[in-house]
Structure 1
Amino acid sequence: MKNQLSFHAIVKFVVLSLLLIGSEVIAQSFNIIPEPVEIEQGSGFYTLNKSTEIIVPSEQDEVINIAAYLADKIRPATGFDLSIAHSDKGGIQLKLNTKFNAKIGKEGYNLEVTQKNIRIRANTPKGLFYGVQTLLQLLPPEIESKSTKSVNWQLPVVNIVDYPRFEWRGIMLDVSRHFFSKDYIKKYIDQIARYKYNIFHWHLTDDQGWRIEIKSYPKLTEIGSWRVPRTGTFGQHSEPKPNESPTYGGFYTQDDIREIIAYAKERYIEILPEIDVPGHSMAAIAAYPELSVTKDPNAVVNPGTNFSKWFGPSDFEMFIDNSLNPTDEKVYEFLDSVFSEVADLFPFEYIHMGGDECYKGFWKKDIDVQAFMKKKNIHSVEELQGYFNNRVAKIVYKNKKKLIGWDEILEEDLSQDAAIMNWRSWHNAGIKAAEQMHFVVMSPSPFYYLDLRQGDRSVEAPVYRDSRIKKVYDYNILPEGIDSTYVLGGQGNLWTEQIPTEPQVEYMSYPRAFAISESLWSPNQKKNWDNFIGKIENHFKRLDHSQINYATSMYDPIIEVTKNKNGLLKVELSTEVKDLTIYYTLDNAIPNQYHPKYSETIVLSEDVDMLRLVTYRNNKPIGKLITISSEELAKRVK
């Protein structure tokens, strides 16, 4: 009897183990980004076929539009031209709740997949749209293909309840440093919508280009949107040559902007326009020199030269005047026209005024500016920028919009209704803004700066700092001490000084935009780094089928350099991703699996010229080949 019980116990243990293993396999097979709030697993699959119908209520046009969107996404890869019907049986059912479900709110949804049908229920069409994004992610990665694939189009049986952690989930794209076409902007918006982003922050003006048509000031685009062409490292470009034509650039007409806004609206994305003033205004000054203090008639749109010197994170000197004159009424007439046209174009409730990194040195030197300050009892140029900010705020409010700006605008007296975009993590500006009861969007550098290096500096674009994906994923956008009541959400920022092409925009965006998406949508306790890596790899396959570029930098080793007591270089290697093997050489050979495997600190003798590294997984190379000279390694010593 004792042996029989033992046998039953063993069988029970084996069965339970198999069930748990199966459950884990199913859980990992979902690969949904961002991670849903609740997932209840079932057994079996729903199979999509050419006869599947998308079922919607006949009287709900917006829901019908979402059904058409879903059919369009499914058609290319499957070859199925799914019809939209109004019955109440089978198929993929999109339904609005008749009674408001407070748990899921305005953007949440319930997605239920059975072996017989799929049901998505939500309180609003926006919730249905996000449910559709999850449905698409439950299908095999080939669903993203632009041509028909021979695949068994199955979705696992599952019940998902999902809703966002934050209401503001944004991505900023800088189109001033490099111009990207209308069609590409639409493509980028479509892609971020797939990951449940709902804000596209459009950085439209800066020193290197003015990208929005303003009918009352036509030279902003006739002159301000074009500069001389340059390649190579931004910040090291040469000055324009005599009589050199400014042929590089472009702009969006107001009709282009309306078209993009309509496209984004169909994907439940609001567009936040940014007109960056009073600093970062070289393109506007090139078109209208009288807007600046110096009024230089030879001002040109900057092609990416080195025109500043930095002494610290917020301490710098500009060699050319790129700031508007805050004491000139004609400047405010100009801004009134610009912001009025912007307000007429963009339906979103906020307009972004920039306000960051404004150099005030030319204001200090100008006699008229100093006289103005004395007359107005303004005691410093910092207070003068506060005066400017509030004049802009009044213009924005007059146009029935709300003001938002980079966190520098918080430094002086600021209108209570203004919101803050916290980018300087070292200033705790988000905490200060919340204490003053300003709404805050957290977009801190370096964590959410998508232009920063995501791998080793030897194989990435030359920028000043890194922001590897694990650092992005682990960041908590609610720092200790902040009043979360005032935190609208967060945002990734993609500045494009070193990003001249569309593939590079994508390379810098993904997979880090996945990490930000999960942090902004999913409950913090649902985040799991090792599971997230598996999801990323599934989405790499999806991006391959979509023909969208991405970075594999997470496979590259992290390199730390010190010196031993004899002055020799010591190199320690680690990886963000588990189960990687690092091979290396010190003899200039190209490393592979036949070379030394890293297992302990590498000490370089004095005659070593360079270190070469590569990561492998399952006996196949997966990371980039990294080559670093001993001279460069010595510069990295900590």
Structure 2
Amino acid sequence: MKFLLSVLFCFAGTAFIAKSQELPLIPLPEKVTYGTSFFAINDQTSISLPRDKADWELIKLFAEQFSEILKEKLITTVKEPSKNTIVFKIKEDLADEAYLLDIRKDKIEISAKKPAGWFYGWQTLTQILRLNLQAGEGAVFKALSIADKPKFAWRGLMIDVSRHFFDKDVVKRYIDQMAKYKFNVLHLHLTDNQGWRVEIKQLPKLTSVGAWRVPRTGYWSGMPAAEPGEAATYGGFYSQEDIKELVKYAKQRFVDIVPEIDLPGHSLAFVASYPQVSCTKTPQQVLAGDPWNATRTNVVCVGNDSTYTMIDQIITEIAAIFPSKYIHIGGDEVTRNYWSNCKVCQQRIATEGLKNVDELQSYFVNRVAKMVKAKGKTPIGWYETLEKGLDTGIVQMSWKDEKGAVKSSNAGQKVILTPAFLTYLDFYQGDPYLENAPFTVNRLSNSYKFNPLPEGINIQNVLGGQGSLWTEQVPNERKLQFMTWPRGFTLAQNLWSKAPKPNWADFVKRIETQLPLLSMDSVNYSNYFYDPIVFAKKDSVGNVVLNIDTEVPGLTVYYAFDDTDPDQFYPRYKDESISIPKGAKNIRMVSYHGNRQKSRIVKLPIAELKRRAKL
């Protein structure tokens, strides 16, 4: 009965659907052709199971998802009814992840070469349904044909689970959201100075010691160090059974979990567990925040053969529990002065005929990469400029900028792009004075500029790209979501869509239609992209003046200097420099679209703005 009422209501609203020139999908499909009829789901609609029983589990998962959205159970049948059905077809001439979605008056048909294509076609269909329901249009689909396939094979997001640990249920919910927007790689940064997060049975201290640190809350920089005798109670790790469960869950959603063991730097949790792996051999504690001093050894001794024995034990177990073809071995930000002062490392340099500690790092990375290859896996490393060449079989993950990817791709290496200033999701999204994120800004409009194919790159060697979320300032799931969305939408668009890229104003409208879907899923997101952005400068006579802008076109900004909260009845900013009244301590700003408030009230001290003007 609910279905029928919904259908009746929807046909009353088809005039609205007919006026819609384009569905606000993210990512945009490659090609969409719209028809004039409608397919309406009702209590007799069925989902036809494909011939191969091996695919039934997947299709039944689809049925469960649709039933949950509609609050009614859909019928699954081994037959293919002539009408009022959703069917899945095999089409051998399509690419592996490509799909065709055909919505007609009598049926919905999803065609693909492989189940991955069915999955992505289903995500598109589900997104259309959710958008329709959100718009009050019910379970009615406008007739259309979509031909779609991804631009890149690697469409990733990375979570740093070392700085803060996120349990397997949090990771599952993250995977759910990734899959809805056609991401297919979850890169887990499993080890760092602040925690070791995966069980290695041959080296049990990695988790009994390395997974725990003293509890601290607050800003990462300057976090108080451990006190004498203080217990390490904050942290956690994934057992190997947890990993297998996560891998299975992700695989059902066509997400590949790629593990990272960060070496030879970023290794304090490793060293705290087994001090003999370092050059100094001195006892260490897992780092609670980001204070650093010369007594802390976060780099492994790369001259000692026993180090490689332990690493091989780690790689062996990682390869066994993660079916991904890739293992990330880190390789960035290594403090090499430990090796300069280590007799064993200096002897290794002499024995191997190396020039210096830079070449010693190349030696280490190549040797660990060989271990990874011996397990039938492909190694990935963070791009670093090193004097001695690296094994060209190592996939380079370019993070500082795009130059590393251009260089490596033209040297014959496969590359993945995650340039920090465009894709790092730990960078702040609003005014830096109001945020506690480290480093710098990566606003939503900036992340939309990410181009995984920068000028000069060898396209044949580009696997794709990812957004990377380091979690120094991300202590819980809500902040994890907040830092990912809506910037994740821009990454999904740039990594999947082969369609012409829409302009920024059009994409903002698409984002705005997607945000209520995140709310429906109880997923947190940032709306800082609506915030007014203030610029301070000195005028010709040396007075500080202010200019205000917004990321989103068409917003109106209202402001106040009198320490009251402005609304649409306050002074309106008119695209010209404004002077600071004498005695003013703060400026408060808010953006509106028409009569609707869009941003939070942004309050900034005048002293801070004058400081910026001097810079």
TM range (shorter): over 0.9
**Does 1:110 pair with 2:104?**
no
Deviation at 1:319, TM superposition (A): 5.9
Deviation at 1:538, TM superposition (A): 1.2
Secondary structure of residue in 1 paired with 2:434: coil
Equivalent of 1:82, from 59, 74, 85? 74
Deviation at 1:616, TM superposition (A): 1.0
Distance 1:376 1:525, change over 3 A: same
Equivalent of 1:264, from 219, 233, 250? 250
Equivalent of 1:135, from 104, 125, 129? 125
Matches within 5 A, 1:115-264: 115-141=105-131, 152-264=138-250
Q: What is aligned with 1:614?
A: 590
Say whether the 8 Å CA contact 1:448–1:492 is kept in structure 2: yes
Deviation at 1:490, TM superposition (A): 0.6
Matches within 5 A, 1:351-430: 351-408=327-384, 412-425=388-401, 428-430=403-405
- Between 1:470-479 and 1:498-507, the stretch displaced more is 470-479
Q: What is aligned with 1:445?
A: 420
Say whether the 8 Å CA contact 1:77–1:142 is kept in structure 2: no
Equivalent of 2:438, from 446, 450, 463? 463
Q: What is aligned with 2:467?
A: 492
- Between 1:501-510 and 1:577-586, the stretch displaced more is 577-586
Distance 1:319 1:573, change over 3 A: farther
Say whether the 8 Å CA contact 2:401–2:420 is kept in structure 1: yes
Q: What is aligned with 1:72?
A: 64
CA distance in 1: counterparts of 2:261 and 2:577, whole angstroms: 50
- Between 1:37-46 and 1:173-182, the stretch displaced more is 37-46
CA distance in 2: counterparts of 1:281 and 1:424, whole angstroms: 20
TM-score, normalised relative to structure 1:
0.91
**Does 1:307 pair with 2:292?**
yes
Say whether the 8 Å CA contact 1:282–1:323 is kept in structure 2: yes
Secondary structure of residue in 2 paired with 1:232: coil
Say whether the 8 Å CA contact 1:614–1:621 is kept in structure 2: yes
Q: Deviations over 1:598-633 (max 9, x none)?
A: 112222144321111111112121101111101111
Q: What is aligned with 1:314?
A: none
CA distance in 1: counterparts of 2:315 and 2:379, whole angstroms: 11
Deviation at 1:451, TM superposition (A): 0.7
1:172 maps to a residue whose letter is M
Q: What is aligned with 2:411?
A: 436
Equivalent of 2:496, from 508, 518, 521? 521
2:194 maps to a residue whose letter is Q
2:129 maps to a residue whose letter is L
Distance 1:479 1:150, change over 3 A: closer
Q: What is aligned with 2:10?
A: none
Q: What is aligned with 2:21?
A: 27
- Between 1:186-195 and 1:84-93, the stretch displaced more is 84-93
Distance 1:24 1:436, change over 3 A: farther
Secondary structure of residue in 2 paired with 1:425: coil
Secondary structure of residue in 2 paired with 1:447: helix
Deviation at 1:58, TM superposition (A): 3.3
Q: Deviations over 1:538-579 (max 9, x none)?
A: 111101111110001111122221111222222111112122
Say whether the 8 Å CA contact 1:228–1:240 is kept in structure 2: yes
Deviation at 1:142, TM superposition (A): 7.8
Distance 1:411 1:484, change over 3 A: farther
TM-score, normalised relative to structure 2:
0.94
CA distance in 2: counterparts of 1:632 and 1:189, whole angstroms: 40
CA distance in 2: counterparts of 1:135 and 1:92, whole angstroms: 14
Deviation at 1:359, TM superposition (A): 0.7
Say whether the 8 Å CA contact 1:96–1:125 is kept in structure 2: no
Q: Deviations over 1:388-433 (max 9, x none)?
A: 011101111111111111001765321121110000106x100110
Deviation at 1:529, TM superposition (A): 1.8
Deviation at 1:594, TM superposition (A): 1.6
Say whether the 8 Å CA contact 1:450–1:492 is kept in structure 2: yes
% identical equivalent positions? 37
State the Cα RMSD in Å. Answer: 1.9
Say whether the 8 Å CA contact 2:132–2:140 is kept in structure 1: no
Q: What is aligned with 2:8?
A: none
Say whether the 8 Å CA contact 1:386–1:409 is kept in structure 2: no
CA distance in 1: counterparts of 2:339 and 2:499, whole angstroms: 46
Q: Deviations over 1:281-335 (max 9, x none)?
A: 00010100111111112x0000013217xxxxxxxxx662100000011100000
The gaps in structure 2 that reach 5 residues or longer are 1-14
Say whether the 8 Å CA contact 1:26–1:41 is kept in structure 2: no
The gaps in structure 1 that reach 5 residues or longer are 1-20, 309-317
Q: What is aligned with 1:8?
A: none
CA distance in 2: counterparts of 1:287 and 1:499, whole angstroms: 25
Say whether the 8 Å CA contact 2:30–2:499 is kept in structure 1: no
Deviation at 1:25, TM superposition (A): 4.3
CA distance in 2: counterparts of 1:150 and 1:380, whole angstroms: 67
1:156 maps to a residue whose letter is K
2:60 maps to a residue whose letter is A
CA distance in 2: counterparts of 1:23 and 1:53, whole angstroms: 24
CA distance in 2: counterparts of 1:608 and 1:185, whole angstroms: 47
Say whether the 8 Å CA contact 1:175–1:203 is kept in structure 2: yes
CA distance in 2: counterparts of 1:94 and 1:405, whole angstroms: 42
CA distance in 2: counterparts of 1:480 and 1:157, whole angstroms: 39
Deviation at 1:94, TM superposition (A): 3.4
